[in-house]
């Protein structure tokens, strides 16, 4: 297989390069940079092992332009460009390769939902209807059949995986869902703003964009309401002083009385065979336990019909590049775990 990666300077693009180097079914990697055509791969990411560049031979170990990449006919294209740009750029591969877009550009089924969250219409509204939302455990069958996968946001993945079993069964009660999410700083991308400097973030917890103001809240709401019912969701994100990891602590009032074991059975029913979902029957998960893996581990607490779910992921892996690989694996009929870690390093 030949895999192209559009955008090689951010965290998700660089992690994809490293994951693809280790992927047993990928023989050729095509790094594509819009601005740094010709740059050597070891300058893109100085950490890459110089003894492991065989897969980059097709491009002479260098980044190529978009046009060059098209000429090299990749089987799969990962787009790691900024929102509003990614969808526009990667669309040129449609019909030629499977596209997995890590931006938000194809995540909403309705252009108006995208506009509300991002302040302007999606770059390619015409393609929204053919895109499949790449939440791998939920849209597995559709992912296998599509050529355009919209990889979900990190907060969204950490929120939907715990909530969808309840939502699909109609078990969420009247009170609004309250999600308190804690994220490592890489969740902001490699943005060179003062607020993300080490000296600003260490020994610091910062709540931000509360209520319904974060863009991922709209994405969560859109998916939870996919079957018609409007679900109220409040989402309070916080930056915590670590590089990677998300912990979503979710409060749900149940629509009817249930026991802890009934709830556990519900989750086992949905996720018991899913290799990347870790159900904790007792105790709560910690983000470090899934660091570097493509897992989402879930812990539970029930009290007086108030149900608390604790979900942890690595935002760069299951929340971005790892799930993108998982989607590639599903789409091409590969082993679902190929190239992905199930245990922390």
Give catalytic residues, as residue numbers: 154
Q: Which residues, numbered 168-207, are part of the site for its own copies (CB under 8 A)? A: 175-176, 178, 180, 182, 184-186, 190-194, 196-207
> Would you give the DSSP letter of residue 327?
H
291 neighbors 245 (Cβ within 8 angstroms): yes
Q: Which of 68, 115, 142, 212 binds its own copies (CB under 8 A)?
A: 212
Distance in Å, CB of 123 to its own copies, minimum: 26
Non-local (6+) Cβ contacts of 323 within 8 A are 134, 135, 136, 151, 152, 157, 294, 317
139 contributes a contact to its own copies by CB under 8 A: no
Non-local (6+) Cβ contacts of 36 within 8 A are 8, 9, 44, 63
> Would you give the DSSP letter of residue 109?
S
- Could you give the 3-state DSSP secondary structure of residue 234? strand
Distance in Å, CB of 249 to its own copies, minimum: 6
Q: Which of 84, 109, 286, 338 binds its own copies (CB under 8 A)?
A: 286
319 contributes a contact to its own copies by CB under 8 A: no
Distance in Å, CB of 190 to its own copies, minimum: 6
Closer CB to its own copies, 123 or 187, in the complex: 187
177 neighbors 251 (Cβ within 8 angstroms): yes
Distance in Å, CB of 71 to its own copies, minimum: 28
Site stretch for its own copies (CB under 8 A), options 66-74, 97-105, 137-145, 282-290: 282-290
Closer CB to its own copies, 43 or 126, in the complex: 43
Q: Which of 22, 34, 61, 68 binds its own copies (CB under 8 A)?
A: 22
How far separated are the first and last CA of the chain, in Å rounded?
26
Query: What is the token pair recorded at 29?
Result: 């990697």
> Would you give the DSSP letter of residue 116?
H
State which H helix or E strand residue 71 sits in: helix 66-71
Site stretch for its own copies (CB under 8 A), options 114-122, 136-144, 221-229, 306-314: 306-314
132 neighbors 140 (Cβ within 8 angstroms): no
Q: Which residues, numbered 222-281, are part of the site for its own copies (CB under 8 A)? A: 232, 234, 236, 238, 240-245, 247, 249, 251, 253, 275, 278-279
Closer CB to its own copies, 117 or 148, in the complex: 117
Site stretch for its own copies (CB under 8 A), options 25-33, 136-144, 208-216, 325-333: 208-216
Residue 179 φ/ψ region, left for φ over 0, alpha for ψ in the -120 to 50 degree band, beta for the rest: beta
Selection from 164, 158, 173, 307 nearest residue 225 by Cα: 164
Q: Which residues, numbered 70-109, are part of the site for its own copies (CB under 8 A)? A: none
Q: Which residues, numbered 30-59, are part of the site for its own copies (CB under 8 A)? A: 46-52
To the nearest 10°, report the CA torsion of 41, 44, 47, 48. -20
Distance in Å, CB of 157 to its own copies, minimum: 16
- How many Cα atoms are found within 13 Å in the side-chain-facing hemisphere of 186? 22
Distance in Å, CB of 306 to its own copies, minimum: 6
- Binding residues for its own copies, total number by CB under 8 A: 82
Closer CB to its own copies, 68 or 140, in the complex: 140
- Token pair 């971005």 in the structure block, residue: 320
């Amino acid at each position: 297989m030949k895999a192209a990666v559009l955008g090689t300077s951010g965290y998700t693009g660089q992690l994809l390069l490293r994951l693809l180097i280790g992927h047993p079914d990928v023989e050729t990697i095509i790094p594509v940079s819009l601005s740094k055509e010709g740059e050597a791969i070891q300058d893109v990411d100085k950490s890459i092992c110089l003894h492991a560049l065989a897969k980059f031979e097709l491009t002479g170990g260098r980044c190529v332009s978009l046009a060059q990449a098209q000429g090299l006919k990749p089987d799969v294209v990962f787009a790691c460009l900024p929102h509003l740009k990614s969808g526009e750029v990667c669309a040129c591969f449609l019909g030629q390769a499977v596209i997995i877009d890590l931006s938000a550009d194809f995540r909403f089924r309705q252009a108006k939902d995208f506009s509300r969250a991002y302040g302007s219409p999606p770059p390619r509204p015409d393609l929204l209807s053919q895109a499949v939302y790449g939440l791998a455990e939920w849209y597995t069958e559709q992912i296998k059949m599509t050529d355009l996968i919209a990889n979900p946001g990190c907060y969204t993945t950490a929120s939907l995986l715990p909530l969808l079993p309840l939502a699909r069964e109609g078990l969420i009660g009247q009170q609004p869902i309250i999600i308190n999410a804690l994220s490592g700083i890489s969740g902001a991308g490699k943005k060179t703003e003062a607020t993300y400097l080490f000296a600003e973030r260490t020994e610091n917890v910062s709540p931000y964009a509360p209520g319904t103001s974060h863009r991922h809240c709209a994405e969560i709401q859109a998916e939870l309401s996919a079957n018609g019912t409007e679900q109220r969701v409040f989402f309070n994100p916080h930056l915590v002083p670590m590089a990677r990891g998300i912990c979503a602590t979710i409060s749900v009032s149940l629509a009817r009385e249930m026991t802890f074991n009934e709830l556990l059975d519900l989750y086992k029913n949905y996720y018991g065979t899913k290799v990347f979902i870790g159900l904790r029957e007792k105790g709560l998960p910690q983000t470090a336990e899934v660091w570097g893996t493509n897992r989402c581990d879930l812990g539970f607490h029930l009290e007086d019909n108030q149900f608390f779910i604790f979900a942890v992921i690595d935002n760069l892996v299951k929340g971005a590049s790892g799930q993108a690989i998982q989607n590639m694996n599903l789409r091409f009929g590969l082993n679902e775990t190929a190239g992905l870690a199930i245990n922390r390093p």
